[in-house]
Structure 1
């Protein structure tokens, strides 16, 4: 009578596992794409914007197309810094959102690579001493 609902199936398969394979940076991105094209022609603010993206955690998983997107966005960022306007800012925000600029964007894209690395394997080899082994409990005649 303890607990809610029926007991889980022994061979239950979790179907909503999050696939983070898209975060693996296995593609070799040319260094020229990671450098701001014609950097001297941009203001210090735009250069800082670029450097922030290059040093961000999500940049580790960027592919060639992501870096090209940032290269295309740089002139728009420069234009916004020279003459701020809501239309340019909306376009910048939309593009940055697709690259995971804010916490909400990264949550939506399921970008939690650091947390995944800290978790280790899904199932540990042994349980800590202060944790009950429910499989052993069931095999001994428990719920």
Structure 2
């Protein structure tokens, strides 16, 4: 009679490999542009667009954010277009809220967005000194002096 139990599991082969090869780009960091001055048409006349103060603060927040260290020119241009949507929202156009939320999520605006994008803050990596998230002693510190008994089974009495 053959061995008992199910046959050994075969090694699974990934069948959903990417059909298109990845494109590797040269990365170039770009400096944040200033919020531009421009004119808009209002009541048939061209008038200077005034950025809401809240949008100016929001723009500075992005410039100062850790994420901005990884922004290229196209990222800043996309964020600049997003600033216009932010200005619409803070000027009373509440229909801009959904688009604004989607756009800032792409940049890691909230903790959930950063988790989805697999972003972590560098200080967080070393802050717990290897003790895990609880801040208590590590397993090595708690159990480092424990050794197994001869025979490897419990207290040695058989």
Work out whether the TM-score is over 0.5.
yes
Measure how far apart 1:117 and its partner are. Answer: 5.3
TM-score norm. by structure 2 comes to: 0.53
Match of 1:47 among 49, 56, 61: 56
Match of 1:63 among 69, 72, 78: 72
Distance, in Å, in 2 between the alignment partners of 1:94 and 1:118 is 31
Q: What are the equivalent positions in structure 2 for 1:116-135 lying under 5 Å apart?
A: 116=125, 118=127, 131-132=143-144
Cα distance change on mapping 1:28 and 1:37 into 2, 3 Å: farther
Which protein has the larger Cα radius of gyration, Structure 1 or Structure 2?
2
The reply on whether 1:37 has 2:36 as its aligned counterpart is yes
Measure how far apart 1:27 and its partner are. Answer: 3.9
Distance, in Å, in 2 between the alignment partners of 1:113 and 1:119 is 13
- The structure in which a higher percent of residues are strand is 2
8 Å CA contact retained: 2:30, 2:71: no
Could you tell me which runs of 5 or more consecutive residues in structure 1 were left unpaired when the two chains were aligned.
1-25, 122-127
TM-score norm. by structure 1 comes to: 0.58
Q: Following superposition, which runs of at least 4 residues in structure 1 exceed 6 angstroms of deviation? A: none
Output one character per residue of 1:68-119: Cα deviation in whole Å (capped at 9) or x when no partner. Answer: 211111111111111231x200000000011111111111111113223557
Match of 1:102 among 107, 110, 113: 110
Say how many residue pairs are matched: 108
Q: Say what the alpha-carbon RMSD is for the aligned residues.
A: 3.3
The reply on whether 1:88 has 2:89 as its aligned counterpart is no
Could you tell me which runs of 5 or more consecutive residues in structure 2 were left unpaired when the two chains were aligned.
1-25, 39-48, 131-139, 154-158
